[in-house]
Amino acid sequence: MGNYRLIALDMDGTVLNDRQEISKENAEWIHKAMEAGITVCFSTGRGFESALPYAEQLGLETPMITVNGSEIWHRPHVLHQRTLMNASMIKRLHELAMQSDVWFWAYAVEGLYNRERWIEPADNYEGQHWLKFGYYTENDALRESILAVISQWGGLEITNSSPWNIELNPAGVSKAAALEELCTLLGITMEQVVTMGDSLNDLAMIRAAGLGVAMGNAQDTVKAEADFVTLTNDEHGVAHAIEHIVMKG
């Protein structure tokens, strides 16, 4: 077995199948890795509340990276570090979303807001502790035009968690940066980390890890940068990678 000490798993499109479940096969191999002394953690764009049930299902009392790295947890409910987004930036992103007439969402410490449920009053941006903003549209031209505008602003980490969305965090916040912080906490190096993911918000951690694994369903850019491409999330690709690469070295 390679000298791997940590496996960091993206959730949607990776450890979760398209029905948002962790398969029996994935759970089995995650537990085998843990039994072999490897720490397994989630590294997700999701907020803590929606990631937590899956951590509990697997019995993970391990660190968690949520909201693309804006939050790092020592273990569930024990926060290590949180990076907030500027309220004035959220205001600009929200105004652009309204002008563009697209679906949008925003994670704050206080909860998840979106087009259907926004803050009260609607301009009380300073009243929340913001973490992330996202846009969703299957209209490629519209999505590209939004991307072109925000790319000029600066101060943002721009990724996606599917080909149809745009995800925004404060500049410098990424799953990779969060993993580097976790390595410091755990006393290991990035060379000892295995990362698995499918989207642009996984790209930095796939590049930075000792072993970067792209899912069979990953975006082409992610596959091109990975050390190994496993099966899809509906074919228990995480289990396949742990069995064939991680445990065999």
Neighbours of 195 (CB within 10 A): 30
177: closest CA among 132, 209, 145?
209
Measured in residues, the chain has a length of: 249
Closest to 2 measured CA to CA, from 149, 211, 158: 211
| Residue 169 · residue 204 · CB < 8 Å | no
* 211 vs 207: CA distance, rounded Å: 8
Which DSSP string corresponds to 34-96?
HHTT-EEEEE-SS-HHHHHHHHHHHT--S-EEEGGGTEEEEETTEEEEE-PBPHHHHHHHHHH
Task: Give which of 80, 44, 77, 83 is closest to 183, Cα–Cα.
Answer: 80
As a whole number of angstroms, the distance between CA 17 and CA 146 comes to 29
Compute how many other C-beta atoms are within 10 angstroms of the C-beta atom of residue 56.
11
Count the helix, strand and coil residues of the chain and give each as a percent rounded to the nearest 5. 40, 25, 35
Concerning whether 123 is annotated as a catalytic residue, the answer is no
Query: Which residues are known to be catalytic?
Result: 10
